Structure 1
Amino acid sequence: MNLTIHGAARQVTGSMHLLEVNGYKILIDCGLDYERDRSTIANENFPFRPEEIDVVILTHAHIDHSGNLPTLVRLGYAGQILCTAPTADLAEMLMMDSVNIFLRKMQGGNKRGKKRHHDSGGNQPLYLQKHVMDTAERFVTIGFNKPFRMTGDIELTFIPVGHLLGAAAAVLKINDNGKEKTIAFTGDIGRKNYPVLNDPQPLPQVDFLVTESTYGGRHHTKGKTVEEVLVETIDKACVKENGRLIIPAFSIGRTQSLVYSLNKIFSSGLLPPVKVFVDSPLAIRSTETFRKYHTLLNEESRDFYDREGDEFEFDNLTYVENINESRDISNYFEPCVIISSAGMLEGGRIQDHLFYNIQNYYCTILFIGYCAKGTLGFRLLRGDPIVHIRDRELAVYATIKQTDVLSAHGDHDDLMDVVRGQNKDKLKTVFLVHGDPQSMDALAAAIEDEDYAVSIPEKGITYTL
């Protein structure tokens, strides 16, 4: 069998791996590539013919793993997309949201007189709602830890890995010309003791492991829990200073974990009541999906539900439904917490809140996730004294803070635990994907130090396994 890494090779986004077994072509993930080129033409220029792919396996819903599926379908893919049920629901939401982002970018570019032709890689939408609907019709859902016979020679099992509701490692048991071979694709690996989500399950023993490396060489901050960090921050920003706390958060996954953590804090009386606004339509819709798959949440969350009720609902919490309600928040002068997307501040309602509060000395902005270079979030974390929002240059007077206690990615030790769980005598090669070169090099060095064979694939290079 042959393995070709077509995406997330020596970079983070655009996960896409092709496994060929006796002429049968399996595509594992099909994510948008946001790093090297965000243009339409870069993401629709597949290095293979979409109609020749036999089946797609989707590890989880995040857009850097799922976001180019509608393009694949638009260009001729006609097969099934295998994933868990929560992944199917969340991926459809995220892909629909991507359509809205594409359209806003196109409208913004046209307003500035920068309309370009589709084939120039400009502002034309990569896909439309119709293509997302066509893609959603191809989802075939499979439960965790339930072997699924794809062909007479290939069996797929999804293993829970935390990180996001429905996220799974894809483990394939393959009869390759009479010889049994096993390969696992981790997707993104979560961390232990994360709010709402279960811990990653150990993988079975495999011959080949394709694993993410996002936090290779990096460790999460130790010593403080999520609740301790939030209590400390809210107490200072909202209670002692009578100000407001703005938390940029990704709508799916991060917001639900944050709301649940705040629910525990306020229901336990660790802080006096403070108004909390969740201002993200996508967060509201995806929270319903978390409720729908309540039985897949972790034991602590389910126990909390039995004692206190809905994990994602509490006194003084308001889900902001429409844009008028969102604008009204600027006229709310009592201390409050505002949770809004997008997490890196690139678009979304969060920019409205920043516009009105970035020059407020009594405002704190708490980043709880990664901000890529070039984003507004990155510039604020870098300490830029002036930032550009809504065609205006604004001085930064608000307090800027950051914490990694809500990062949904496992760190270096978590990644190493996945590798250490494999028998050295059986595991032939670890392939590192989905990480920047520095992280990959650090993780590769640690893996080699423990006498495992490791490879950092170049994009498009085929390996015979």
Structure 2
Amino acid sequence: MKLTFWGATRQVTGSMYLLEIDDYKLLIDCGLDFEKDKNTSENENLYYQSLFPFEPSLINAVVLTHAHIDHSGNLPNLVREGFEGQIIATSATQKLTYLLLHDSATLYQKKIKKTHKKNNKYASPSVKSEWFLPKHVEDTDEHFFPLQFNRRFAITRDIYVTLIPTGHLLGAANVFLEVKENGTWKKILFSGDIGRKNYPLLPDPEIPPQADYLICETTYGNRLHQRHLPPEEELFQIIQKTCVEIPGRLIIPAFSVGRTQALLYTLHKLSVQKRLPPIKIFSDSPLAHQSTKAYEHYLSLLNEEVQKFYTEHKSLFDFENLIFVEDLRTSKQISNYTEPCIIISSSGMVQGGRIEHHVKANIQNPYATILLVGFAAEGTLGYKLLHGDKTLEIGEKKLPVYANICSIDTFSGHGDQKDLLEFVQTQDSHKLQKIFLIHGEEQSMIDFKDFLAQNGYPQAIIPNKGDSFEL
């Protein structure tokens, strides 16, 4: 049995891992790599000559940990290039993946039309292009096989999979594989993205079974969350300061799926407690609006507090003064709304999406506050704001930063170093043969590897892209 790492190695994005059991090929995650341009090496030429470093038609099945694009975004391309098998995931992951992929495909379609108009010819995505269209998303959705949490499912007679709740995002799971080879059962655990305890909306991650091999994410491998106040208290204090004491505009970059729902639910709780000032709250993302419906549809997957809240108030996200913004024209108008207000818009890293024009319109406004509520990858506008850059280049303009910039990590869906260690400590060090560290910035992986060694887990290694290991 051989495991090959084809993504999220020494970087955050592009999760993709190929497990070969004799002639059977199982792919765990199939995400878009947003960082490949800066990490290209001579050994990775194969990855760029074709869209995949393997033949998609030879992949027998895919197991998807969760819906985020850096884990799911290459699925339409896999199907387009010949994949015919099943995509195993929870039903909630299937729904959110469809929404995210369809949103991406719509953006790609606009880019193609723009190119067509500019060049006066049809610009079709080639086989080697990562662009895909809504049709490819529809085709991909037909391959999904929804699997309940904690149900042991036989992929083949000798391969079993169990999806274990891990928080982080609606439907997100650890993937636990049991493989029979030469009469011996081997157990492999893929962390996916590990959630944190006491997170708004989601239950705490469950304890996974013992494995022989662990593939573990390291997004916050060298950082701890601030953990100062409960989410509603921290958000209340920020709103008081930015919209009441200084009657200004609070702009919150947030991913449409996951982060926005946690924010809206927390705001709803404040509204019920009559602690929200009478100001407009704009949720500026059609994708976020669709996703909120998905969260309410899968109410049974949310935590007990949320289910009780829904029973009492008949809604998780609908409250006074909340406005869902659908069209782009209205979106641009609210950037200059004259009264104090809150604008929640994507993307969370301030890279693409409607949030860019909100930031552009307000970055020179000393009465505006931009609140960053999660991780931002190096090179993004969010990263630059977090690190105190005095000017921002948005489009073709360089703009001085006069707006107030602040950050909290209360709404980060990722577990921190302590949470990651607790996840690894669910495994008996004497039974665990290897730990592979993935999905994190390189320094985060190095630091977490040292941290694990200090805590009795010296068997961690950091693979490079394309590295294969016999299990």
What's the TM-score, normalizing by structure 2? Answer: 0.93
Which residue of the other structure, out of 102, 118, 134, is the alignment partner of 2:139?
134
* 1:405 CA drift (Å): 1.1
Match of 1:323 in 2: 328
| CA-to-aligned-CA distance 1:269-327 (integer Å, 9 cap, x gap) | 23333221101011011111111101111111111112223111111111112223323
Alignment: residue pair count: 463
CA distance in 2, matches of 1:88, 1:61: 7
Q: Which structure 2 residues correspond to residues 2-401 of structure 1 after superposition, within 5 A?
A: 2-37=2-37, 42=48, 44-106=50-112, 126-330=131-335, 332-401=337-406
Any conservation in 2 of the 1:32–1:43 contact (CA below 8 Å)? no
Closer, same or farther in 2 for the Cα pair 1:304/1:180, shift >3 Å?
same
Q: Which letter does structure 1 place at the counterpart of 2:170?
A: L
Aligned with 1:454 (options 454, 460, 463): 460
Does structure 1 conserve the Cα–Cα contact (< 8 Å) formed by 2:74 and 2:130? no
CA distance, structure 2, for counterparts of residue 114 and residue 386 of structure 1? 36
Counterpart of 1:4 in structure 2: which amino acid? T
Hey, what does 1:424 align to over in structure 2? 429
C-alpha displacement of 1:45? 2.6
Quick one: distance in 1 between partners of 2:185 and 2:383?
A: 47
- SS of the counterpart of 1:37? helix
Looking at structure 1, the residues matched to 118 and 240 of structure 2 have their Cα atoms a distance apart, in angstroms, of: 44
Cα deviation digits, residues 254-280 of structure 1 (max 9, x gap) = 000000011111211233332211010
Note if contact 2:193-2:414 (Cα within 8 Å) is conserved in structure 1: yes
- Cα distance, 1:111 vs structure 2: 7.4
Structure 1 distance, partners of 2:132, 2:290, is 22
How far 1:119 sits from its partner (Å)?
6.9
Per-residue Cα deviation, 1:221-258 (whole angstroms, up to 9, x for no partner): 12222122211110011011111100010000000000
1:112–1:357 CA distance, 2 compared to 1 (3 A):
farther
| Range moving further from structure 2, 139-148 or 386-395 | 386-395
Comparing 45-54 with 381-390, greater Cα deviation is found at: 381-390
Structure 1 stretches of at least 4 aligned residues deviating more than 4 Å after TM superposition: 104-121
Residues 102 and 125 in structure 1, CA contact (< 8 A), matched pair in contact too: no
Cα 1:447–1:355 shift into 2, 3 Å: closer
CA–CA distance in structure 2, aligned partners of residues 390 and 212 of structure 1? 33
Distance in 2, Cα, partners of 1:288 & 1:308: 15
Name the Cα RMSD after superposition: 2.3
User: What CA distance in whole angstroms lies between the structure 2 residues aligned with 1:114 and 1:359?
Assistant: 38
| DSSP 3-state at the match of 2:225 | coil
- Structure 1 170/270 Cα, relative in aligned 2: closer, same or farther at 3 Å? same
Specify the alignment match of 2:44 in structure 1. Answer: none
State the alpha-carbon separation in 2 of the partners of residues 367 and 112 from structure 1.
Answer: 36
Q: One-letter code of the match for 1:16?
A: M
8 Å contact from structure 2 (residues 77, 130) kept in 1: no
Structure 1 residue 105: Cα displacement = 4.4
Moved more, 190-199 or 324-333: 324-333
CA pair 371-167 structure 1, distance change in 2 beyond 3 A: same
Deviations 1:105-164 (A, max 9, x none): 45666778799996797xx66221111111110000000001111111111110000000
Identity percentage of aligned residues: 50
- In structure 2, the residue corresponding to 1:7 is in which secondary structure? coil
Mapped partners of 2:141, 2:405: distance in 1: 39
Gaps of 5+ in 2: 41-46
Q: Take 1:292 and 1:21, find their aligned partners in 2: how far apart are those partners? A: 37
How far is 1:331 from its partner?
A: 5.1
Looking at structure 2, the residues matched to 34 and 450 of structure 1 have their Cα atoms a distance apart, in angstroms, of 33
Return 95-104 or 203-212, whichever deviates more: 95-104
Opposite residue 197 of structure 2, the aligned amino acid is: K
Task: Report the alpha carbon displacement of residue 104 of structure 1 after superposing the two structures with TM.
Answer: 4.3
Distance verdict in 2 for CA 1:46–1:108, change over 3 Å? same
Partners of 2:452 and 2:117 lie apart in 1 by 51
Return 273-282 or 383-392, whichever deviates more.
Answer: 383-392
Structure 2 residue identity aligned to 1:211: C
Cα distance in structure 2, aligned partners of 1:308 and 1:30: 38
